Structure 1
Amino acid sequence: PITGNGNHFGVMYAGVLFTVAEVLGGILALTTFDQSQFYPLVKDMSIQYKAPAKSNVRAHAEMSDEDIARVESEATQNGKSEYVVEAVVTDAEGTVVATTRATCQLRRHAK
């Protein structure tokens, strides 16, 4: 929400926009892969600010079935696998306020 997350000139704080998108790499992994076998981490992330966010925001990202199968197979065999999460952050009117690209990694828990 914009309430409590605004900066000194009346738009959403840049760090909040970053965080809204950053959590998606972990959420995708936690909801897609077996948490008892794997855990996610973010290795790298970049953000491009497109427009000021003056309202609540939401972020969207997805993984293809092919990427899911590849990442799970690689992590099972090699102990880890990288995947890229591209997110789009939009405001309440649907305006794109930021885009991100994160390199994430799925790791197998040590046995």
Structure 2
Amino acid sequence: MTSGSEHENYIEEMYRRGRLDDEGRMSALNTPPPEYAAALYAYLSSDVSASVTGRVLVGGGGYLGEFLGPEEQLITHRDHASNPPYTDEQIHNIINPGVSGSS
């Protein structure tokens, strides 16, 4: 994760140029601890995600998104300041509603 004045200046420039929306700007400036990004990696490497193939997912903090074409689409968001990282099962249930995670 990146922080500091150089990072903040970069984020503000991306926002000014229209490359980040308000939520993206605030998320980038309020960087969560590494375990929040690690939750998605842990999920994708677990048996729970065996049915997930060919999808491009992005996550960090309370944010989970998916690229469905040329643009990312929000799946869900929760405030990382007041919530723990997602569990494997929570991520699975969010991106695969109605699909069992057990094999």
Tell whether the structures are fold-level matches, with TM greater than 0.5.
no
Higher relative contact order (CA 8 A, sep 6+): 1
Query: TM-score, normalising length from structure 2?
Result: 0.30
More helix by share: 2
Task: With the length of structure 1 as denominator, give the TM-score of the two structures.
Answer: 0.28
Instruction: Name the larger-Rg structure.
Output: 1
Q: Which has the higher strand share?
A: 1
